[in-house]
């Protein structure tokens, strides 16, 4: 097992004239669960979107498993995203940016993009249903009709269907009731990593405290080092 799975060096990114990220440096090792905490509008989502090449422009190096997926780019957002996904990064977007007109089962199948994953999809779906038993009864329901918490579970389940080695989970508890938030975080913490890694962004430090291996703060587009665990929970 090598030392780092993802190494970001000097990453800046933004939209048009707006610069959101300022020289981000961080890395994550296999088996780690990293939390990036910070307030709304300080660049957590943009960081994930820059890793997936979904921002307007970006520069700086992003090494995933030794392969460069960053670089300088000012056009063509989203053009290389499917390729990056296929390398083994699964991102669950913030909020409900998913397919409202697909059923839960179809939605999960969308996550199984690799050939082997597609053949294996029935077994993988079962695994997701074990993690989120609620979804088992909702297999045929349209995602657009589910509650916020259920949609979040579908979104995470979709990420788990793939062969990803790095999960980027963006604001998993955004807009959820405290009880539901806790359940979603519990599920995320219980996902076995085994050489994979997970980055979670979150505004509520107390929810993640003690549940992740490392925590970093983000403020005004810069990473502010290790936060350490605050004893709030």
Partner 1 sequence: MDATLVIYALYLAAIYALMAIGISLVWSSIGMVNMAYGATFAVAGYAAYFAADSIAPAIRSWSTGVDGMVLLAVLTVMAGMIAGALFGILVYLVAFLPIHDKPNFAVRSLIVTLAINLAAVQALLFAFGPQQKALPRIFGVGRFNLLGTPMRLDQAITILTTIVLLGLVLLWLRISRRGLEIRAVMQNSEGAALCGISTRWTALPVMMLTGSLAGLAAVLLSQSIFVNPSAGTTPLIKGLTIALLGGLGSVPGAVLGAILVGFLEAITGIIPFLGQRYVLVVQFAFIVLVLLIRPRGLGGLLDETRE
User: Residues in the site for partner 1, rule: CB under 8 A?
Assistant: 52, 54, 75-79, 81-83, 85-86, 90-93, 97-102, 106, 109-111, 113-114, 118, 142, 144-145, 158, 162
Contact in structure between 213 and 34 (CB atoms under 8 Å): yes
Spatial separation of the C-alpha atoms in residues 138 and 181, rounded to whole Å = 20
Taking the complex as a whole, how short is the minimal distance between the CB of residue 58 and partner 1, in angstroms? 15
Spatial separation of the C-alpha atoms in residues 206 and 51, rounded to whole Å = 26
Taking the complex as a whole, how short is the minimal distance between the CB of residue 145 and partner 1, in angstroms? 5
Name the 3-class secondary structure at 122: helix
| Strand 197-202, strand 33-38: pairing | parallel
Contact in structure between 102 and 143 (CB atoms under 8 Å): yes
Quick one: 109 or 171, whose CB is closer to partner 1? Answer: 109
Quick one: 143 or 215, whose CB is closer to partner 1? Answer: 143
Taking the complex as a whole, how short is the minimal distance between the CB of residue 172 and partner 1, in angstroms? 15
Quick one: 23 or 77, whose CB is closer to partner 1? Answer: 77
Quick one: 72 or 118, whose CB is closer to partner 1? Answer: 118
Taking the complex as a whole, how short is the minimal distance between the CB of residue 144 and partner 1, in angstroms? 6
Alpha-helix residue ranges (DSSP H) falling in 100-228: 104-111, 115-119, 121-131, 133-137, 148-161, 178-190, 205-208
Quick one: 1 or 75, whose CB is closer to partner 1? Answer: 75
Taking the complex as a whole, how short is the minimal distance between the CB of residue 99 and partner 1, in angstroms? 4
Contact in structure between 143 and 154 (CB atoms under 8 Å): yes
Quick one: 19 or 113, whose CB is closer to partner 1? Answer: 113
DSSP code at position 73:
B
Taking the complex as a whole, how short is the minimal distance between the CB of residue 163 and partner 1, in angstroms? 10
Cα torsion 190, 6, 202, 142: sign: negative
């Amino acid at each position: 097992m090598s030392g780092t799975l993802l190494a970001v060096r000097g990453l800046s990114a933004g939209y048009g004239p707006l610069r959101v990220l300022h020289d981000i440096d961080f890395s994550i090792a296999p088996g780690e669960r990293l939390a990036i905490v910070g307030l709304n509008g300080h660049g957590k989502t943009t960081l994930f979107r820059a890793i997936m090449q979904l921002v307007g422009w970006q520069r700086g190096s992003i090494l995933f498993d030794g392969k460069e997926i960053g670089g300088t780019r000012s056009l063509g957002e989203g053009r290389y995203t499917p390729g990056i996904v296929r390398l083994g990064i699964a991102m669950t977007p913030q909020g409900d940016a998913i397919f409202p007109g697909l059923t839960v089962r179809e939605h999960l199948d969308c996550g199984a993009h690799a050939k082997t994953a597609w053949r294996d999809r029935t077994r993988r779906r079962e695994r997701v249903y074990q993690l989120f038993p609620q979804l088992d009864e909702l297999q045929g329901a349209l995602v657009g009709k589910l509650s916020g918490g259920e949609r979040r579970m579908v979104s995470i389940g979709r990420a788990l269907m793939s062969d990803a080695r790095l999960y980027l989970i963006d604001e998993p508890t955004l807009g959820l009731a405290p009880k539901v938030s806790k359940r979603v975080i519990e599920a995320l913490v219980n996902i076995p990593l085994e050489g994979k890694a997970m980055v979670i962004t979150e505004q509520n430090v107390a929810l993640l405290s003690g549940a992740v291996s490392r925590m970093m703060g983000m403020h005004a587009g810069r990473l502010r080092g290790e936060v350490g665990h605050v004893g709030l929970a």
